[in-house]
Structures are given as structure tokens and as C-alpha cells.
Amino acid sequence: MIRYTLLLILSLLSANVGWAYPSITNYMTAEACVHVVMESPDYINNHHKIQISSVGPDTLKTSTYLTDTIDIPEKSTSVVRNIFFFKGESRWLKKINYSDKSIAFITALIAAIMISIATMIILLVIILMNRRRMEKEELLHLYLMEKYQSLIINYLFGSASPEEFRSIASDTHRRQVLIDQMIDVSIYLKGDESKKLVSLYKLLSLDKDSITRAYSHQWHKKIKGFRELAFMNINDANSAIYKALNSSNEILRMEAQIALVRLNDDNPFEFLSHLTSHFSLWEQITLHELIIQHNIPVPSFQKWLTSPNPSVVIFALRMIREFKQKESENDVRETLMHPDPAVRYLAVQVSGDLDMRSTLETMKDMYKYQEYNICLEIIKSMGKMPDISMMGFLKLVIDKEDDVQLQIEATKAIHNNGEEGVIALDKLMVSKYKNYNIIIKHVLDRRIF
Amino acid sequence: MMGSIFANIFFIISLILIGSYLILGIFSAVTLRKYLRKNSYVNYNSLVLSPLSPKISIIAAAYNESKTIIDNVRTLLSLYYNNFEVILVNDGSTDNTFEKIKEHYELTKVNYYFDYHIPCERIRGVYKSKNPSYNRLIVIDKKNGGKADSLNAGINICHNSLFVSIDADSIIETDSILKLVKPFLEEKDRKVIGAGGVIRIVNSCDVERGHIREIHLPGQMLPRLQVLEYTRAFLLGRMAWSQLDGLMLISGAMGIFDRETVIKSGGYSTKTVGEDMELVLRMRRKMAEKGVKYEVTYIPDPLCWTEVPSDIKSLYKQRTRWTRGLLESLFTHRKIFFNRTYGSLGLLGYPYWVFFEWLAPLLAFSGFVYTIYLVLTNSLNLPFYILLFLFVYTSAVSFSIWAILFEEITYHKYKKKRDVLKLVFAAFLEPFFYPMHTYFAVRGNLEALRGKKGWGKTERKGFEIKKKKVRQPSLRRPVKPEKTGKSDSST
């Protein structure tokens, strides 16, 4: 089918070329003709009828000469025919005045039309062929997937021999489907079966394919290679993976991180120490999910709180919170003074979430020098770890701050102090200094959260 | 002499327009290929389950949508994302929209205290459901003020750093939030201030309880032509502009924004009918003037399905409104025009919109008028006219087919071969409808000059009409006055 289409495209292209060449010849003839006409007034007088009415006003400038030579074809259909089927003797091409446009210009215009028509036809053919190709590929892929999956399972748990895979591995496309299937199956395997699958992978030299891909210059091939190596636990291309760790391509970088976590059993997060590029939230979420789903041993993240890369510090703080590593309290307190505001913000949040009360005084002291969002987070954190010693500060926030959100969070924080908090709010309700009622009503409405 | 000048201008503009489409198409192809390749390795499920995913507010404005509001809210509440709240703003509906939603979702008024960070009409009350199943839902009942005003009210109420603004009567793809939020999670040295995606046309699709059951090409010619137009605009145009950092528009049907930047920019403007474009322009302008590195991103994934006008009268209203919105936005931010301070936006994006989105249709219209004059005075240079016509026609059809090819090799939403062939056929017919669009553009300009305001009434057929005749024409929002910001309580 592809051959037929290529033939069709080639024939169309050659047809276009075929049209184009005579057209150029015709225009050259036409130019010469106009030249002759312009130099021979006698020729004008003796040859053609004048049809001034059919000439646009834009041609009036040269009407004394050229309009006299215009010979409009009798039917518009013949005009169209002449455009597409150039004939050497076409009077239309030779004699028409194209609004003072040069012959080269007209040629370019016709060439552009031809190119557009050719493009249209080619695109249409591609659309139709692509649809058929996609349907065909999908069917074949489904068939091969089912076939290979049962073959792999039969090999792992039944009587199939490695020789049955040899013929598959000799074909490039089928080999790739086989690799994909082996990776899919490997997700559910542990122990001896997993080792058996890895040996088969190596026996069929599929690991060489993966290593070649990992060293490829094309990023999408690299990713595929990294994934295959990580799933099959093959460490032979680690240098390529480390190199990709600081790549500007975020998806390649992320896949390199995932591969290294999976391949490095002793110290899966060692790569964090080598990471110099920004560790985006997306990468952090993906890695966190990897830890959860694959039961990867969780290290103590506090050692990365001193990383020179702020995004690594942020990740460490998040992991400390998610895995409730409260023993990091002292280091978290230190990060409250981090020069990066994003780190400070998260450190405040983590302190509150993990009930790290030793941070309260530091937070109170730092409050007045912080940006709005950090201030708000400090008040929220104070609400998460209610402490009577903070009540005075919180009342001050309600009194002095104009921002509604700060007032609400400070009121919530006071309210969280149990009975003493309620008494403090009661006093505020009757205060004449400011109308606190609407804030307190908001805070006490348990439907709002 | 004049005729020659006219002919030259028409030709040069056509040539530049086609050339720019070609460049945009190439840019788009490269970017789209890269995006799809990258996306094939992305597992969005990790975002759904993760406690690290950011919390998002979805703000939808509703005005007289009583027939569909229950289903629409249900669709919003069932979106595939973990951390989100839905803020529905009842923009002073005159039918029983609010009563229906109050009853169905068991709403009760809460003592909500908030700031009018952005001016908006008075909020009469904030409601939450007594039923814990609907604890994600917040309903605002406010005085009528228009779509922009309603969105501003929603922004005032929400506390999350990101918000998604949507049309309550659009159908949202269940995974759309995952895709929209991703650019914000990938943020590096440039702050992401907004992101938009592809809007698709729902006419003739089978819709059941707020979800698309089966996708069909619109049966009527006008919506079908708009399918082509949307495909070209979203897959060829905006994709390229996003890459060139010249994106000026995030569709009002669905877009995600950084709340802080929106508030600092003053929120949605209630003075224009093109509030979506105006907001993006204003945000970009503010960021550039402050010297903050930022980006507005675009996702080529289909995120949202909307109903388009299926009759000329409705189309006329929509297009004249769009033209007015465009003109108002361009005029308000005329400072950007060829201004290096605004980078690609000032040097590429904005001038492109001025010349090709605003002026080109006007020039084309004058071209049509001039052609009629030539015909009437029997002075049309027919051969040259035919050549020019063929040049423009074949180029236009080629671009449309190119867009269809993009759709085919990327998202492949129309599964039936017949649908694609119909679309190709529509591509051949579409150029003949161009004079109509240029007429709408002229009328839009005239309305803008006359100072016409407001959305007018847009009649919608309803996309569930095939399954059950439930949807009546819904009215869009009338105009609204301004209000100054101050603190208030819904109580």
C-alpha cells in the first residue's frame, strides 16, 4: 500500500513538474510577445480588437499601449483551462495584461497554486493512509502483545524454552514488543521468577538494545533505554544515566532520577547529592509516588536539608513531613532561616504539620521580617500547635493586621487553645476597639474549612 | 493608479498572512511533536494520588442555567483530581438556577468572611452543603454583574494559589485539571502565571449526565466549519504562539491562573466583553513592567467541550462580540505595540493580532467591496482575479487540511473515517464563508466604535437534545457596573 501511495505521490509531483516547465516556457514567450507589441504600434493597429471595458482601472496607466493589445478569452472556462493546461499556442497567456504584473510574478503565483494543490493532495493521502496504518498497527500490536505475554508466562511458569524467543528477537519491531511485554510482566514478579526473566533478557541480548538506547543522542530513545535498564535491574549504563541527571530536558532528567532510584539498592537517593539543576515539584511528586508504590527504603532526609540546591532542600522537607521524620526537628528549625523564601515557607508549614514546638519562638521572632505568604503560614502553623504563650502575639496580629486572612487564621489559632482560647475570643467579641464578630463567626462556623 | 495600489496591498497582505500561517504551522508541528513525545512518558495518575499535588479552586459562573446546572455541577465535582474545591457563582439568575442548586445540593448559608481583593458586585451569601459528600462545593449568590464580575467574586472567596476559571455550561474532560496544573508543577526560573488548553466543539456529540459518551462531527455545516476553525486556531496557532512566547489569549471556556498574579493585576475587567484576552494581556504587561520572568503556557490536549452557534444569527452575535472584545483589549493595551519592554509579546504577538486578527478581515472586506465595484463597472481583470482567487483558495484549503492532519496524528478524536472526509469537504467549502466572517468583523468594529457594551443574548440549542429534550436556550450575561473593593461578610 505504501508503495502504491509513494508511486501516486511521485506521479503527482512529476505531473506538477510537467506542468511547471511548459508554463515557464509560455511566460517567456509571452514576455517576448509583450515586448514586440510595445515596440510595434503598427502591429496593434492591424491585429486585435480593443476591449477597454474588460480592463481594470489599475491598468489604465498603460492603457494607451497595453489595453489595446488585450484579448479576453470568450469563455471563462477556457481561461481556467488555460491556466492549468498550458499550451504553447495559448493566446491567453501571451496577450493578457495581468494588472501590470511581471511575467515572473505571474509564474510565481501559478507555481504557488500548483504547490498548494500538490500539498493538499499529499496531505489528504497522508490522512487516509495514516488512519489505515494506525488501525493496522494497533491490531498487530494487540495480537503480538497477547501472544508474547502468554509465551513469557509459559516460559516462567511452564515448559517454554528460550529458543522459542529467538525468532522473535531477530525482528526489530517484534523484539521491541517483546521487550515491552517483558517489562510489563516484570512489574508483578519477585524472587526467582524475576531473576529468570532478567536472564532471558540477557540471553536474548535485549540488554544490549537497552544500553545502546541509553547512550543514544535522541532523548526519547534514552528514556526508553533508562526505563528498560531500571526495570531489568541492569547497571551497565549508569554513567549515561548520571549524565542525564542534570539535563535541561525535564522529562529525561526525571527518568534518569527514577532509574537511579531503582538501580541503586544501597543508597537510592544518592543522586540528590549530585543534583545541581532545579528539582521541580512534578519530579518530586513522581519520585514520592515511586517510593510509595515500590516500597523503596526511605532514608533520613535531614542530610539534604543543607544541600546547596534549594529545590533539594524543599524535597527533603516534604519527605520529612510525608514520612513523619520528627527527629529532624533541629535541622528543620535551622531551615526557617534559609535565604530562599520558598524553603522558609515550607519549613514553617512542615514545623506546624509535624508539631515541632521548638520552632514556635523562632517563627514569632521572624514574623515581622517575612513576606505575606510566610506570615500567613506562620499563623496557620501556630494554629496547628496551639500554645498559650503565643496568644498575646496572635491577638496582636488580629488587632494590627488589616488582611482578612491573617485575622481569620489568628482567630482560629486562638480558638484552638481550648477553653482559654474560647475565653479570649469571648473577650474579643465584646471589644469596642474593633468589630471582631464577623471574623469570630466565620471561625466558629464548622462548615467552613 | 488607485486600483493598482489596492491590488498590491491585497496581494502583499495575503502573502504575509499565508507566510505567517506557514511559519506558525511549522513551529506548531515541531512543538506539538515534542509535547506528545514527552507526554507519552508522563503518568498523570501519580498526581491524582499524591498528597503533594497543589490545591486548586474551580470557579464557574452561572446565569439562568437552571436546566443544566445540576448536571454541570455534578461533572465538576467528579473531576479526576484530589485537592480541589468548586466555587459556583450564581450571577443573579432571574430563573430558578439558585433555588434548584440550593435544594439539590442541600445548601445552607455560612458565616463567610472575606476580602474584596478585586472589585465585584455585592455578594448576597456564601453557601455550603450540609451533606458531607458535597463538601468540595461552595456556592456564591451575588447580584448580577456579568461573567467577569462573577469570576472576580469567586477569586475573592477562594484561598488556593491556583484557580481554574470555566464556563458552567461547558463539558470538562475528567483529566483536564491534571493536564492544566502540570505546567505549574514544572515551573523553573520562569513563573507560570496562566495556562490554557484546546477547546473542542460538542455540537452533535452524545452527552449523558455531563459527560461525552460519543464524539461526532457536527451535523450542521456552520458548527462543522467552526470545528475546522477551532482546530486551526488551537493546534496550529496557539501552539506556535506559546512556543514563541506570544500567547495573548487563554480561552474563557477553561484556563488556569496564578491567583496572586491575577489579584495584583486587578482581576477580570468588567469593562470589556473580551475579559479573557484582556486579563492575559494585563497580567503579561504587569509582569514585564516589573521585570519578572514569567510564562503563559498552552497545552494542546483537549480539555473542554463547548457548544458553538449553529445558526447565522447566533454566530453573528458571537463574532461581533469577539471583535469588540479584541478591539477593546488591543486598544486598552496599545502600549505593548512594537514595544521591546514586552519582549515577544510586544514585537510579535501583539502586532500579529493587530494586523491579522483585527485589520486583515477589514481589509478583506474592503477587497470584497472593491471586487463588487469592479464587476459592476465591468472593469474586473478576470484572469488576474482568478489567479489571485485560486492562490488564496488553495492556500486556505491546504492549511485546513494540514490542521485536519494534525488532529488525525495527534488526538484522533473523530474515529469515523466518514467524519474526517466530511471535515475535508468542509475545508473546501469554508473559504466561501469568509466574506460572511469579514462582514461580522466590520459590524463588530462598528459596534465597538458606537460604544456598544454587554454580551447580548446567545441562544444555545443544548447538546443533550438528542438524548432527552431538557435543555432550553440559556441566556448569557448582561452588563454590569463597577464597584470598589472593601471587606465584607456574606452574613
Are the Cβ atoms of A278 and B188 closer than 8 angstroms?
yes
B67/B279 Cα distance (integer angstroms): 30
CB contact under 8 A, A442 and B401: no
Bridge partners of residue B113, in order along the sequence? B489
CA count, 13 A, side-chain hemisphere, B225: 19
**Interface residue A139 vs chain B (CB under 8 A):** no
pLDDT of res. B479: 39
Query: Residue B491: how many CB atoms within 10 A of its CB?
Result: 15
Residue in B236, B237, B278 with CA at minimum distance from that of residue B255: B278
CB atoms closer than 10 angstroms to residue B457: 14
How far apart are the C-alpha atoms of B308 and B459, rounded to whole Å? 10
In a domain? residue B394: no
> From the candidates B140, B388, B398, B429, which should be mutated to test the interface with A, based on the most A CB atoms within 10 A?
B398
Provide the angle, in degrees to the nearest 10, between the axes of the packed helices A250-263 and A219-231: 20
Domain membership of residue B75 (yes or no) is: no
Q: Assess if residue B200 is contained within a domain.
A: yes
Q: What is the grid cell recorded at A85?
A: 493546461
Residue B62 belongs to a domain:
no
**Residues of B with Cβ-Cβ distance to A127 under 8 angstroms:** 401, 404-405, 408, 420, 424
Q: Which residues contact B401 (CB under 8 A, 6 or more apart)?
A: A119, A120, A123, A124, A127, B424, B427
Contact B383 A96 (CB under 8 A): yes
Instruction: Answer whether B37 touches A (CB < 8 Å).
Output: yes
- pLDDT tens column, B27-81: 899 988 888 888 888 888 888 889 999 999 999 999 998 888 998 899 899 999 9
Count of domains for chain B: 1
Compare CB distances from B46 to A112, A220, A286 and report the shortest one's residue: A286
Is the minimum CB–CB distance between A248 and chain B shorter than 8 Å?
A: no
Taking the C-alpha atoms of residue B193 and residue B345, their distance in angstroms, rounded to an integer, is 15
Q: Hey, are the CB atoms on A318 and B390 less than 8 Å from each other?
A: no
Q: A397 with A410: CB under 8 angstroms?
A: yes
CA distance A390 to chain B (A): 24
Q: Rounded to the nearest 5°, which phi and psi values hold at A138? A: -65, -45
Q: In sequence order, what are the residues at sequence separation of 6 or more whose Cβ sits closer than 8 angstroms to the Cβ of residue A108?
A: none
CB B41 to CB A318 under 8 A? no
Query: Are A44 and A68 in contact, with CB atoms under 8 Å apart?
Result: yes
B195 contacts B300 by C-beta, under 8 angstroms: no
Q: Which residues of A touch B113 (CB under 8 A)?
A: 404, 408, 438-439, 441-442
CA pseudo-torsion sign B92, B95, B99, B101: negative
pLDDT tens digits for B402-453? 999 988 888 888 888 899 999 999 999 999 999 999 999 999 999 999 887 7
- Cβ neighbours, 10 Å, residue B319: 19
Q: Is B52 on the interface with A (CB under 8 A)?
A: yes
Closest residue in B to A119 (Cα) is: B398
Check B378 against A251: CB less than 8 A apart.
Answer: no
Specify whether the CB–CB gap between A328 and A295 falls below 8 A: no
Best B1, B8, B34, B41 member to test A by mutation, with max A CBs in 10 Å, is B41
Restricting to B residues 373-402, those with a Cβ less than 8 Å away from any Cβ of A are: 374, 377-384, 386-388, 390-391, 394-395, 397-398, 401-402
Residues B384, A53: C-beta atoms closer than 8 Å: no
Q: Could you tell me the maximum CA-CA distance found in chain A, to the nearest angstrom?
A: 116
ipTM at complex level: 0.84
Q: What is the mean pLDDT of chain B?
A: 87
The chain A residue lying nearest B158, using CA atoms, is: A405
Asked whether residue B198 is assigned to any structural domain, the reply reads yes
Select the residue from B33, B260, B381, B399 to test the A interface by mutation, using most A Cβ atoms within 10 A: B381
**Mutation test of the interface with chain A: which of B113, B162, B264, B395, choosing the one with the most A Cβ atoms within 10 A?**
B113
pLDDT tens over chain B, length 491 residues: 566 677 677 778 778 888 888 898 898 999 888 888 888 888 888 888 899 999 999 999 999 988 889 988 998 999 999 889 999 999 999 999 999 999 999 999 998 888 888 999 999 999 999 998 999 999 999 999 999 999 999 999 998 999 999 988 888 998 999 999 999 999 888 999 999 999 999 998 998 877 888 999 999 999 999 999 999 998 888 889 988 999 999 999 999 999 999 999 999 999 888 899 999 999 999 999 999 999 999 999 888 999 999 999 999 999 999 999 999 999 999 999 999 999 999 999 999 999 989 998 998 898 889 889 989 998 888 888 888 889 989 999 999 999 999 888 888 888 888 999 999 999 999 999 999 999 999 999 999 998 877 655 555 555 554 444 434 334 334 434 333 333 444 33
- CB within 8 Å of A323: residues ≥ 6 apart: A298, A301
Q: Which domain holds residue B335?
A: 17-42+170-352
Give the list of residues 6+ apart from residue A231 with CB closer than 8 angstroms, or none. Answer: A183, A186, A187, A262
- Encoded amino acid at A378, one letter: I
d(CA A382, CA A378): 6
CA distance A90 to chain B (A): 13
> Smallest Cβ distance to A281: which of B51, B52, B404?
B52
Is B52 in contact with A322 (Cβ distance < 8 A)?
yes
Cα gap B189→B293, rounded to integer Å: 7
Distance from CA of A442 to the nearest CA of B (A): 5
| A 328-387 → B contacts, CB under 8 A | none
* Substitution target from B10, B16, B37, B46 for chain A, most A beta carbons within 10 A: B46
**Residue in chain A lying closest to B134 (CA):** A447
Whether A130 contacts B409, CB under 8 Å? yes
Q: Which of A123, A251, A403 sits opposite B41 (nearest CB)?
A: A251
Q: Which of B130, B378, B405 faces A127 most closely, judged by CB atoms?
A: B405
Cα distance between residue B246 and residue B238, in whole Å: 9
Binned average pLDDT, 10 residues per bin, chain A of 449 residues: 41 34 31 33 39 39 38 49 48 53 78 92 91 87 89 85 79 85 84 85 88 92 92 88 88 90 86 89 92 88 94 96 95 95 96 95 93 94 93 90 89 89 81 74 74
Residue B84: all three cell numbers together: 480541589
Residue B51 falls inside a structural domain: no
In a domain, B224, yes or no: yes
Closest residue in chain A to residue B157, using alpha carbons only: A405
Q: What is the CA radius of gyration of chain B?
A: 23
Contact list, B380 vs chain A (CB under 8 Å): 54, 56
Q: Output the pLDDT for position B454.
A: 67
What CATH number corresponds to the domain at position B288? 3.90.550
In this structure, is residue B66 part of a structural domain?
A: no
Residue A13's pLDDT is 37
